[in-house]
């Protein structure tokens, strides 16, 4: 009598995902590519071992139920005697192996697993997670020496969500699918002995066409196509240059790389600072070429990202940066220094001084940046869409790694709260100073408060396009 086939992987992406031996593997791309099934199936390979410890994550607890329900349909059939322990949110197998189901709705929730060891860790919809959550669990990816089990990080996702950019950079950007990439590092023990360490990473693309289990696939794809070309292509074909709600789509808003060199001695510098109360402080230096290519050019020449530093320390780092710029023939001093307006708030506990005051007491002066957020984002979008923004080779990492992650708040021309927007905010202050410095109108207060918000943004964009045709903006060194 033939054996019942409870479940088997699809040929192609799903089979490659399950057979991969790399430390980190992402199966990603289109919807319905078989990613979730691949994730719950992968940790079953080691349920014979009493040391096997695995966990599968979804960001939201409610979404985790989908995986739990699926495993309850098949785990008992695959391994008779397997038991779901709801109070501990885990599967327990007769051998002693265990597979947890976890969530981490807040970034800090991931720390609940700090005392655990898992030889297998899986993330479903990885782009819904923050990079810090993923890396934190990478530190938990370990096991007892006696276990002799491989350490594996496995993920599945669509090209969408707040974590889109970091996932794209880590697994997809510049990498050939199905190829294992080796990352070598060295560690030196207390006796001075150096050991070379290796970690391998692989991206396996998956689309709806890889999953024969999808019923009436043509009708499903026809429905997805109604979402519009960008989102439809992302979900059907796994395009990574677009995701839903993206404030600055990578394909429409490129930031190309250019050689780090001064294009003309006819220039001045804008310095913009976003002070981090609990987040990083970001400082950017922008070179403005008033007449280059018959239009003004704004070039980001340097950026620093500073965590948990006192004002004197930040000032010291800024002075060093400006000395470096001067050595590269950048015209100093700074002509337009602008700072996050919230730094003007005075603190009675500190002699009624503000952060701005403290910078000035240390010899650095700033004007308060203009706070019109909608106009600032519009200026940035205009510069980027017109391909007037670039960055010096080897620089621009923080801005480029975060600006494409920003998600728009529905129905507005602003971004959602609680995003990594520190570098983008600094860019916004500089863009506002740039346009104001070249005499470009941003609309009167009456216009902005008239209630005609739907008309205000298109009018603003049209005004910028007409008044700033050919304004070029480059992002640069140390940035």
Of the pLDDT bands very low, low, confident and very high (cuts 50, 70, 90), residue 6 is confident
pLDDT (tens digit per residue) in 187-242: 888 888 888 888 999 999 987 766 666 656 667 667 766 666 566 666 666 677 66
Please state, in angstroms and rounded to a whole number, the distance separating the CA atoms of residues 169 and 455.
37
Weakest-pLDDT range from 140-154, 406-420, 462-476 = 462-476
pLDDT at 86: 96
Please state, in angstroms and rounded to a whole number, the distance separating the CA atoms of residues 468 and 350.
43
Q: Is 216 left (phi over 0), alpha (psi -120 to 50) or beta?
A: left
pLDDT (tens digit per residue) in 109-156: 999 999 999 999 999 999 999 999 999 999 999 988 767 899 999 999
How buried is residue 468: exposed, middle or buried, by Cβ count under 10 Å (0-12/13-18/19+)?
Answer: buried
Superfamily of domain 13-237: P-loop containing nucleotide triphosphate hydrolases (3.40.50.300)
Percent of the chain's residues with pLDDT above 70: 80
Weakest-pLDDT range from 122-131, 284-293, 429-438, 447-456 = 447-456
C-beta separation of 141 from 119 below 8 A = yes
Contacts of 234 (CB under 8 A, 6+ apart): 30, 158, 159, 160, 240, 242, 243, 244
- 3-class DSSP assignment, residue 306: strand
pLDDT at 185: 83
pLDDT at 445: 32
pLDDT at 475: 38
pLDDT at 358: 92
Instruction: Annotate 358-418 with DSSP letters as a single string.
Output: HHHHTT---EEPP--HHHHHHHHHHHHHTT-EEEETT--HHHHHHHTT-BBPTTSSSBPSS
C-beta separation of 124 from 58 below 8 A = yes
**Residue spans per domain, the chain:** 13-237, 257-475
pLDDT at 197: 86
| Bridge partners, 194 (sequence order) | 188
Q: Tokens representing 337?
A: 């220094």
Name which residue leads in pLDDT, 172 or 302: 172
Q: Tokens representing 175?
A: 């990498």
163 pLDDT higher than 70: yes
CATH number of 257-475: 3.30.420.280
- CA angle (66 as vertex; 61, 68 as ends), nearest 5: 85
| Bridge partners, 200 (sequence order) | 182
pLDDT at 217: 60
């Amino acid at each position: 009598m033939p054996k019942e086939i409870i479940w088997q992987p699809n040929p192609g992406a799903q089979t490659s995902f399950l057979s991969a031996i790399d430390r980190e593997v992402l199966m990603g791309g289109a919807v319905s590519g078989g990613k979730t099934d691949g994730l719950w199936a992968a940790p079953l390979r080691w349920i014979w071992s009493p040391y096997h410890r695995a966990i599968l994550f979804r960001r939201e607890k409610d979404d985790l139920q989908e995986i739990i329900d699926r495993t309850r349909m098949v785990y008992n059939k695959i391994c008779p005697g397997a038991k779901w322990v709801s109070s501990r949110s885990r599967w327990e197998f007769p051998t002693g192996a265990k597979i947890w189901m976890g969530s981490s709705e807040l970034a800090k929730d991931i720390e609940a697993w700090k005392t655990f060891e898992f030889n297998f860790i899986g993330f479903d919809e990885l782009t819904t997670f923050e990079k810090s959550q993923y890396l934190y669990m990478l530190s938990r990816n370990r096991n007892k020496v006696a276990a002799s089990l491989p350490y594996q990080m496995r993920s599945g996702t669509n090209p969408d969500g707040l974590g889109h950019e970091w996932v794209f950079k880590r697994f997809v950007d510049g990498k050939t699918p199905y190829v294992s990439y080796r990352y070598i590092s060295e560690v030196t023990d207390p006796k001075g002995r150096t050991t070379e360490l290796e970690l391998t990473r692989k991206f396996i693309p998956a689309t709806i066409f890889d999953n024969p289990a999808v019923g009436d696939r043509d009708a499903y794809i026809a429905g997805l196509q109604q979402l519009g070309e960008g989102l439809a292509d992302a979900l059907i074909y796994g395009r990574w240059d677009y995701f839903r709600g993206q404030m600055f789509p990578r394909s429409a808003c490129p930031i190309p790389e250019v050689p780090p060199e001064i294009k003309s001695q006819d220039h001045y510098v804008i310095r913009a600072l976003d002070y981090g109360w609990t987040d990083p402080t970001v400082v950017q230096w922008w070179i403005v070429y008033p007449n280059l290519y018959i239009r003004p050019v704004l070039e980001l020449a340097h950026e620093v990202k500073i965590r948990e530093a006192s004002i004197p320390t930040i000032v010291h780092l800024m002075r060093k940066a400006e000395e470096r710029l001067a050595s590269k023939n950048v015209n100093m001093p700074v002509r337009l220094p602008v700072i996050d307006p919230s730094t003007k708030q005075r603190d009675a506990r500190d002699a009624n001084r503000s952060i701005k005051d403290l910078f000035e007491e240390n010899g650095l002066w700033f004007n308060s940046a203009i706070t019109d957020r909608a106009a600032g984002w519009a200026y940035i979008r205009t510069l980027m869409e017109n391909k007037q923004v670039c960055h010096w080779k080897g620089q621009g990492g923080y801005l480029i790694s975060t600006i494409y992650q920003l998600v728009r708040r529905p129905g507005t021309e602003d971004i959602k709260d609680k995003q990594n927007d520190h570098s983008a905010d600094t860019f916004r202050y500089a863009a506002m100073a740039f346009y104001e410095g070249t005499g470009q109108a941003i609309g009167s207060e009456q216009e902005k408060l008239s209630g005609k918000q739907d008309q205000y943004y298109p009018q603003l964009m049209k005004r910028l396009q007409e008044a700033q045709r050919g304004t070029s903006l480059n992002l640069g060194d140390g940035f």
